Structure 1
Amino acid sequence: MKDKRFQMARNSDSMFNSLELPRMGCTGIRLGRNFPREHCQKPTDEQLWSPNPRLVSEKFMARKDGGFIPATTLNLLAAAWIQFQTYDWFNHELDLEDQPYYIPLPPGHSWQGKITLPKTKLDNILDPSDVKCSGYKNINSASTEEATHELRGLDPDGKLELAENSTGAFIPRDKDSNPRTGFNDNWWVSMEILHTLFALEHNILCNIFRKVYPNWTGDQIFNIARLVNYALIAKIHTWGLTGERLTKIVGRISKRSEIISGIPGSGVYHDGIPFSLTEEFVSVYRIHSLIPDNIAFFEAKHGKYQTITPLEDLTFKNAQKPLESGISFADLFYSFGINYPGAITNNNYPNFLRDLHTPDGLYRDIGTVDIVCNRERGIPRYCAFRRILRMKAPKTFEELTGGNKELAKQLSEVYNGDIELVDTLVGSHSEPLIPGFGFSETAFHIFIVMNTETYTKEGFHWVQYTTIKDILIRYFPELEDTLKNSKNTFTPWAIKSESKNYQGIETNAKKT
């Protein structure tokens, strides 16, 4: 290791997160596989385009007018958090030198020009059947130390730069009004509030370390604050079924089981193979149906309804639009706490994502993109996917749908009567849910498969005893009463009486 500081700090490209396996999980390292390679070959042209991915999107992903299907066991903050995490975990390198895919349109379908999609860059060094992951993206820093230093600025206490207006501090913008952060693709108001929240948390950690370690340089403070902040984010995401309160009282219940006690404090067992996220893991995280059509905004202190805004008007450069209109960060978090996300099921992709205009000037149908990317990257079709997981594969379309004859008929028509052709994403959305589950049994099996002094004494204590509720209340005290009456930050919050006057589906639906 040329730079010894990364023994006590996080590198922006994730090198040396493991001192024993320094390149494990770093930028540019390929994604792994849950399945043997012979089941994950690159498709032929016929396999890539059959059945037509745009037709699949139209039939099984398009949300019908007024047909938003809410997931009432979660809140919109949970959907935001999932994106906040996943776009920090993996990113495929695109081959911009090759011709893009020109996705054929089914007969009678129209589009503004051609549907194009850049190809995934092949990892020819190892095997031409595989694709290469371009690596890890950081939330409040970048993927190189140089870029991180530019984002950080020159603060002598290691703090991140934040801009301020009447609604509070927020992520500053560049000359083109894009947020200055490590990764700002797919940006919308949810990313605005979560990035800001943990930038604030980083800066308060810097205050603590400056007070305790007055002789440290700004770089030392920044590095340890970043390390602790990321550990806190990881703990929030991965904490196990027993919950934080019990673990604080009795300690970690199981030293070996992440299922019981979550990942923090667990041992490391790689079984001789460096850990990596997998293509199959990426495939089951294609959950764009979580995105609603609209967000209803409420005032945090008393719960008064303020306005409703189409989500497509809160994306990219418009992500700060609510703040500019006078809605505060506390109002935004309260609104996300009581709004529902969409259910992970068929015909629940918001239609603006199926006609998405991105800042690079392209139009995309994200439903079509999800199907093409899974096929291109060698994800087996639904029945094969289940068999490899040693799960029972359905023999008929009606068996797949749990007896839903209408859906079975539609699947048979699109997939030419061949159940072996059903895409894994479509099959997972079509299978009946296990009671109490918010996602398919097929996806759940992949989730299960995947699933010190470096921090300083103060940092370790901060990670161990800080919850997402603590963070929200620290910066937005007007949320305290609501959160204290809410069992879980990522399920619908206790709703204030004035908020109950609003009757829209965004916050009102029959519990599922």
Structure 2
Amino acid sequence: MTSDSATANGVNATEDSKRKSDQDEQLLPFFQPSIAERIGIGAFKLLNKVVPWYKLPGIIGAFNLAFLRIELRQYNLYDGYASTEAQGNPHDNPLRDKRYLGARHSDGKFNSLDMPLMGCKGMRFGRNFPRHVTGKPTEEELWTPNPRMISDKFMARRDFIPATTLNMLAAAWIQFQIHDWFNHVQSEEKFNVPLPDGGDPWPHPHMEIFRTKPDEVRDSSDIKCPGYNNENTAWWDGSQIYGSSEEATKALRTKLPDGKLTLDDTGIASFLPRDKDGNPLTGFNSNWWIGMEMLHTLFALEHNAICDALKAAYPDMTGDQIFDKARLVNCALMAKIHTVEWTPAILAHPALQIGMAANWWGIVGEKLTKMLGRISKTSEIISGIPGSGAEQDGAPYSLTEEFVSVYRMHSLIPDNIAFFSATTGKHIQTIPVESMTFSHASEPLRTSLLTFPDAFYSFGINYPGAITTRNYPRFLRQLHTPDGQTRDLGTVDILRDRERGVPRYCAFRRLLRMSVPSTFEELTGGNTILANELREAYGGDIEMVDALVGSHAEPVIPGFGFSETAFRVFILMASRRLKSDRFIAGPPHGAEGEEVGGWNEGTYTKVGFKWVQDMGMRDVLGRHFPELRGHLDKGKGKNVFAPWVKMAESERYKGVETNAPV
């Protein structure tokens, strides 16, 4: 190291220390952990100075993560409003229909009986960082460096990079869940995105992107840090299937008193009904492609199967009662699948395998919990989050802008999908994903080219893309949408983070109390070519690197499908979605009316509660598509979101490498 570089690194270290000190002074905890929890946090902090959590033995690493999560709850949950008055109160927002004491309201109201608007449709996104460090950007900050240039240099796919530990079901699943959780309200005003100097292949003189619409100013702090509203409910309530309003839900149900969702049965398969333009009638139908067609149909079928089971067991139930219970069961089942199946697939690390199972079952495990019930009434570590009692940890529940940011996972989508027969394994056709989007998503399934079992088998054996630098789908970088827009979603992703005040990469990590790279080489784990390209693009200032670009460029923990930077937000918010919800965690302990809305047979029915506890993704697929059972049996003991065993014909296919450009 030269004396100049040593001096520069010394200055960087001093500046970084000052930034961290300034931020620490402004991070005020909203709740205090118990003495035992504070001891655990401190002990693991000391240990992690020598050994990072992911290098510890599995069970110790899992406990390390549990205490890290407590610290994140302490310092990284902030309301999107200046006052909790915005969350409503029972006087101004009375629960007039007692049906919703024990059932979900489609717009998300009344999950909390004390703050009835919390998490409902139209409420603001919260923050994982204090609002004063997530303010509205200046024009210079918004456009520097040029977001389209960043998309071209660091997002554009050159050669498809597969994620070989996952299958395409994992890619479709996360978008399916995201559509349940969040969707920003869009403004009628547009950004006129400047194109990079030196020319650009963009087919138009400029790129127009709709702005995010800010909420009305309720407090002076909203001027510097605008709040943005969620068009979806923030709860794990299946709004992508059921809709985010009671009116929408009613329109999706059958006219019979059977509690079911409407499906079109063609005699060959059941499909989601369509509007006059060919768009699916379901709770959330934007950003539609064949992966959404498959999973929305699957869980609409699952809802109806639950209805049949409830009707058989409880013949006196009304249609509304059947629907309410079936929705509770279906939503909880999706939450369970995401927690104990999808997450351990994309974060395939021993500590996560243990930790995510413990999120649901506790460290006592599934068998003992099913046999004896909760061993501990309140401890989520001992007996899991479901039934432990809802808790907001000092900040009203919402999903956060930073949570939205770390779930930008478009890289999972390939440009083409090779489809195979579920019965013979023979290659049928390789189809560009672009031709299976929006109103065309179901065409391969409706034209007898593919069956649903063919599609699911093909998704089971195909790889998604890796979440890394330069692996963004080509068609998404020039996406033509039904509303007449043409957009580069890579540019959109960069612009959205800047527009909404998401801190850039180094600040993001600093605010999570993580180490911060002082050089581009350190950021990229020694990849000098990428480091030099980042240095040039960001004018030599590592503090300017966008959060998404930095998290794609950093080395990943072995087994991880995305960065540790994103993971820190994930472990906080993944458990919060469960812990804040009275229909999963149960009412706060000591709350009145604990007999309703809890994690028990009284709320879910005996049949429904057993359904949630006993079923998983393998059961759902096999129930509705029996042709898949043989494939699923071959993979018993293996995660269903990991690559399935290929049939011999599929293995022999060499025409085009699966998911490679055609």
Note whether the superposition's TM-score is higher than 0.5. yes
- Aligned CA distance change for structure 1 residues 262 and 179 (closer, same or farther; 3 Å): farther
Residue identity (%): 59
- Aligned CA distance change for structure 1 residues 258 and 383 (closer, same or farther; 3 Å): farther
Match of 2:367 in 1: 249
Supply the distance in 2 between the matched residues of 1:20 and 1:506 (Cα, whole angstroms). Answer: 52
Match of 1:436 in 2: 559
- Aligned CA distance change for structure 1 residues 507 and 132 (closer, same or farther; 3 Å): closer
Contact 1:433–1:439 at 8 Å: present in 2 too? yes
Residue 25 of structure 1: CA displacement? 1.2
Match of 1:109 in 2: 200
- Determine which structure has greater relative contact order: mean sequence separation of CA pairs < 8 Å that are 6+ residues apart, divided by chain length: 1
More helix by share: 2
Alignment pair present for 1:337 and 2:460: yes
Residue 31 of structure 1: CA displacement? 1.1
Alignment of 1:150-165 (within 5 A): 150-165=251-266
Unaligned runs of at least 5 residues, structure 2: 1-94, 234-238, 345-352, 576-599
Match of 1:283 in 2: 405
Letter in 2 for 1:443: A
Alignment of 1:32-43 (within 5 A): 32-43=126-137
After superposition, give the CA deviation of every residue in 1:17-66 in whole Å (9 maximum; x if it has no partner).
233432221101111111111210110000000000000000000011xx
Alignment of 1:397-412 (within 5 A): 397-412=520-535
Match of 1:297 in 2: 419
Letter in 2 for 1:74: L
- The count of aligned residue pairs is 504
Match of 1:121 in 2: 213
Deviation larger for 27-36 or 110-119 = 110-119
Alignment of 1:478-489 (within 5 A): 478-486=627-635, 487-489=638-640
Residue 273 of structure 1: CA displacement? 2.4
Match of 2:324 in 1: 223
Residue 217 of structure 1: CA displacement? 2.2
Letter in 2 for 1:469: R
Alignment of 1:406-485 (within 5 A): 406-450=529-573, 451=575, 452=600, 453-485=602-634
Contact 1:143–1:182 at 8 Å: present in 2 too? yes
Residue 300 of structure 1: CA displacement? 1.0
Supply the distance in 2 between the matched residues of 1:254 and 1:178 (Cα, whole angstroms). Answer: 48
- Aligned CA distance change for structure 1 residues 259 and 415 (closer, same or farther; 3 Å): farther
Contact 1:485–1:494 at 8 Å: present in 2 too? yes
Deviation larger for 230-239 or 335-344 = 230-239
Supply the distance in 2 between the matched residues of 1:346 and 1:501 (Cα, whole angstroms). Answer: 31
Supply the distance in 2 between the matched residues of 1:422 and 1:387 (Cα, whole angstroms). Answer: 13
Deviation larger for 139-148 or 14-23 = 14-23
Supply the distance in 1 between the matched residues of 2:305 and 2:486 (Cα, whole angstroms). Answer: 40
Residue 325 of structure 1: CA displacement? 3.3
Residue 177 of structure 1: CA displacement? 0.4
Match of 1:323 in 2: 445
Contact 1:340–1:492 at 8 Å: present in 2 too? yes
- Aligned CA distance change for structure 1 residues 27 and 278 (closer, same or farther; 3 Å): same
Residue 493 of structure 1: CA displacement? 1.0
Letter in 2 for 1:506: T
Alignment pair present for 1:149 and 2:258: no
Contact 1:120–1:131 at 8 Å: present in 2 too? no
Contact 1:52–1:104 at 8 Å: present in 2 too? yes
Residue 404 of structure 1: CA displacement? 0.7
- Aligned CA distance change for structure 1 residues 380 and 259 (closer, same or farther; 3 Å): farther
Alignment pair present for 1:499 and 2:590: no
1:337 alignment partner, SS class: helix
Residue 258 of structure 1: CA displacement? 6.2
Could you tell me which of 109, 113, 116 is aligned with 1:19? 113
TM-score in terms of structure 2 length: 0.73
- Aligned CA distance change for structure 1 residues 427 and 236 (closer, same or farther; 3 Å): same
Supply the distance in 2 between the matched residues of 1:386 and 1:361 (Cα, whole angstroms). Answer: 38
TM-score in terms of structure 1 length: 0.94
Residue 226 of structure 1: CA displacement? 1.2
After superposition, give the CA deviation of every residue in 1:74-118 in whole Å (9 maximum; x if it has no partner).
11000100000011101111122xx31110111201423331111
Deviation larger for 214-223 or 333-342 = 214-223
Supply the distance in 2 between the matched residues of 1:457 and 1:3 (Cα, whole angstroms). Answer: 24
2:240 alignment partner, SS class: coil
Letter in 1 for 2:261: L
Alignment of 1:65-84 (within 5 A): 67-84=159-176
Residue 256 of structure 1: CA displacement? 6.5
Match of 1:48 in 2: 142
Could you tell me which of 208, 221, 234 is aligned with 2:335? 234
Contact 2:118–2:396 at 8 Å: present in 1 too? yes
After superposition, give the CA deviation of every residue in 1:142-169 in whole Å (9 maximum; x if it has no partner).
1111121112131221111111225410
Letter in 2 for 1:482: H
Contact 1:89–1:135 at 8 Å: present in 2 too? no
1:306 alignment partner, SS class: strand
Alignment of 1:176-215 (within 5 A): 176-215=277-316
Supply the distance in 1 between the matched residues of 2:375 and 2:408 (Cα, whole angstroms). Answer: 33
